[in-house]
Structure 1
Amino acid sequence: MPAFSLEPEQTAWCAELRTLAAERLRPLADKGEPGRVNRPLVAELGQLGLLSRLFTSGALDLCLMRESLAYACTEAETALALQGLGAHPIHAHGTPAQRAHWLPRVTEGTAVAAFALSEPGAGSDAAALALRAVPDGEPEGPDGPRRWRLTGEKCWISNAPEADVYTVFARTTPGAGARGVTAFLVPADRPGLTGTPLEMLSPHPIGSLTFDAVPVTEDDVLGEVDRGFRVAMGTLNLFRPSVGAFAVGMAQAALDATLAHTRQRDAFGAKLMDLQAIAHQIAEMALRTDAARLMVYAAATAHDSAAPDVPKRAAMAKLLATETAQYVVDAAVQLHGARALRRGHLLEHLYREVRAPRVYEGASEVQRGIIAKQLYATAPHPAPHSTTEAP
């Protein structure tokens, strides 16, 4: 399927998702408490079958879900995405026992998952993780599982401290950088694990976690020991384009609200839409939104076809879409004036929501670094004694 075109059934599905978000998810979101996990909303996502699609569909379907939900209910979009982010490592790397225990509960919406990668000193530089997994004695017998104790902190963790299970990345080999990190599946009731909610600009739940000699064993490992960074990067390569889809959904909502407002608003003896400066601004907002959408769809299609340049495409999609959404929402606020800054207005809500995606799952600067690294890795080397100067 071309990256620039959706099939009719996909377009119809997106329209259905927008309706579901507005009619069934928006009322539950409105009843939730900002900064807290909205379990009725998560359960409804499970009842609608959307959580199960996180693990049975490809990257493009994930993007279509996130864009469509974000258009009508950002809280529902975020709840869906956080379930996927936290549980995708279980789906992709978990043992049969881990998958059997957790995935049904996650897809039903009865268990909340979280992805615990960032730390106070390791945000953008994820390979600098300091949470330690210290060996806890010798295995019990020749076939007994290895044991560790997790000690340290995680910060800026979505769904913390209310999640039921965490995918936790810890350092098992000191001084080894990205090659010494292991992913562990840690239930929230493990002794020594505590957390604190954080008050953030955006209203979704986020907090810090403290690990005080939390016990884990080889049975809790996701993937392989010392290969956890692959688990993290594989998850992010899937979800980064869909962060872009979230951003595109918000940009489209802001654009549509601005079209409606400028069509009916009188100013300076005319409708706002009839003023050339306004019309040109609207055109620019639409141009950038569509360009970002195409980049997101192309990156998702590349992921689904196992293209070799997925990290670059994923980074490009997240970068362009999140920066675009920031521009579009800001321009929409400007064209609406003071009414858009009033608490409860759609654009006031989007203005608070749109800032965080430029930071999480790799800040814009990190995405530029990934893109440049991939470009240099694949660019042909110049021939000896060649010059780049014009003749």
Structure 2
Amino acid sequence: MSADWPTRLAARARSRCVAGLWRRRTVQPTDAVRDFAGNDYLGLARDPRLAEAQAAGARRFGAGARASHLVSGHLEVHEALEARLAELTGRPRALLFSTGYMANLGTLQALCDTDTRVFQDRLNHASLLDGAALSGASSRRFHHGDLEDLDRLLERSPAEALKLVASDGVFSMDGDVADIAGLADTCARHGAWLMVDDAHGLGVLGEQGDGCVGRAHGIDEVPVLVGTLGKALGTAGAFVAGSEALIEHLIQFARPYVYTTAQPPGVAAATLAALEILAAEPERRSRLHALVARFRREAATLGLPLAESHTPIQPLVLGDSHRVMAWAERLAARGLGVGAIREPTVPRGQARLRITLSAAHTEADLDALLEGLATCRAADLREATP
């Protein structure tokens, strides 16, 4: 008898539950939980200035864009935002996408085909991996942050092939930063283009909040730069920044751009407000970095398993999925929300609490987090004692 769909779904659900990997959505209360799980690094998502700018944009342009950018949905506010993002990153042009996932899928699908060789860091975001698969390109993954391994793979590839190296800027689960200069140098030696997804660096790193690439590395080093707006900038959407030729190519060939309704104009207006705040209030970044430093200092004193990250992403690798869920539940009981990350998001045996810090956190928030983590560790020690 052939398998049926309900049987297949039930079997997959059982296997994931037994492994402790079943995911559940929870409706987040507005104020009752201290949020150490989100990506609102500068505390802009709930800034009333962004809310007002979004409302004003909707009143002026409408709640939705009504069509794709290439039909009639590309509005004055989108044009202004693209220009401002290009300026921030030191690129000639930028192109808006509705999500970061779509930006990576669309860019890789538009640039690559079966004659292209793509090389990716092993810990790249799923959207980069999926984009390369969608393009049909031959794809290889180099060891995380290992430039020698990348160099070997590039050396073995056909000299006549077009080569593209793709990497996260700040790795979303580990919080470490790619060696952009080293990647650029390796690519230059092999005639490869470099694409960097700086989703978690934009707004946080760089002298102007322009990320780990931005103005420090021009289009000669990083021809393809991707950034998102729904993290440090507190809104939604994404963009690709680069040369005139790159942007025009994406407008013609990036299917997720061509066939998607343009970003709601109110969101674009809110992002313009966020960029103004980013430029006018550098103290937000300073406060964020001070909180990160304090957390790392005191977490080390508590003996917590810190990863090598000096960004707002602070993973505590606990290894076992059940242990991760137990810690997350203990913290939730104290009104502390943290990310409980398990496979397949991270490799087997690398389950972790993904703790993220924000400029909106107070010293009291951080005190509560550290106290909660100390309680979790103490509970583990008690359970381990015969």
Q: TM-score, normalised by structure 2?
A: 0.26
Q: TM-score, normalised by structure 1?
A: 0.26
Compare the two structures and name the one with the higher helix fraction.
1
